[in-house]
């Protein structure tokens, strides 16, 4: 399976540097424009996809619908296991408060999805999709920490949850064959 993991367009929480996680916020106008620009880029450079999906959060679904409409993709699915990390008590707080805690691989707190649980959840979900959509090209709109998890699964010596920024509307292409992830390329129009 070839899968392009796309981070959703900007929300007001992103704009204001607030931890969003499982908080269900819609795109702002800039986010809509980001996704429209990405869709135009894909239409001109890589327009043929078998299916598109998203997490269950509205910002991902809105982004995926814009792309699906622009590329005339009819098949759409929701995969809730590829939702953003649950930041628990830190949702709505300034991102700067959360960064030092994410850097600690062994950090645990009630309501906060730790790095190990997140990586396991995302890896299993992507592997399951690779069996379901074997030999397919899949667009999937998701979230920063989902994409970071895929990068970490690919190369844990190079990637961490702290050392790689994932911009809104950026795309990370992977080839996934069972539990082998190969990172192919990135598109970042921001």
b/e for 108-142, b at 16 or more Cβ within 10 A?
eeeebbbbeebbebbbebbbebbeebeeebbbbbb
**C-alpha to C-alpha distance for 47 and 56, rounded to whole angstroms:** 24
Task: Name the catalytic one among 8, 143, 145, 153.
Answer: 8
- Residue 34: CB atoms within 10 A of its CB come to 24
b/e for 159-175, b at 16 or more Cβ within 10 A?
bebeeeebebbbbbbbe
Task: Name the catalytic one among 10, 62, 79, 84.
Answer: 84
164 catalytically annotated: no
113 catalytically annotated: no
- Residue 172 has which token pair? 């990370």
Taking the CA atoms of 28, 19, 111 and 85 in sequence, report the sign of the dihedral they define: positive
Question: Which sequence positions are flagged as catalytic?
Answer: 8, 84
């Amino acid at each position: 399976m070839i899968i392009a993991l796309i981070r959703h367009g900007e929300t007001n929480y992103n704009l204001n540097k607030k931890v969003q996680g499982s908080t269900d916020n819609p795109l702002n106008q800039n986010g809509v424009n980001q996704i429209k620009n990405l869709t135009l880029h894909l239409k001109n450079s890589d327009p043929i996809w078998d299916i598109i999906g998203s997490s269950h959060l509205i910002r991902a679904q809105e982004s995926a619908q814009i792309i699906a409409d622009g590329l005339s993709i009819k098949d759409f699915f929701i995969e809730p296991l590829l939702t953003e990390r649950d930041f628990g008590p830190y949702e709505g707080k300034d991102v700067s408060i959360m960064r030092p805690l994410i850097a600690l691989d062994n950090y645990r707190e009630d309501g906060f999805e730790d790095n190990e649980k997140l990586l396991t959840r995302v890896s299993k979900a992507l592997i399951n999709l690779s069996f379901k959509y074997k030999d397919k090209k899949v667009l999937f709109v998701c979230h920063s920490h989902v994409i970071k998890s895929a990068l970490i699964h690919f190369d844990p010596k190079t990637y961490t949850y702290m050392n790689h920024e994932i911009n809104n509307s950026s795309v990370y292409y992977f080839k996934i064959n069972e539990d082998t992830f190969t990172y192919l390329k990135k598109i970042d129009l921001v």
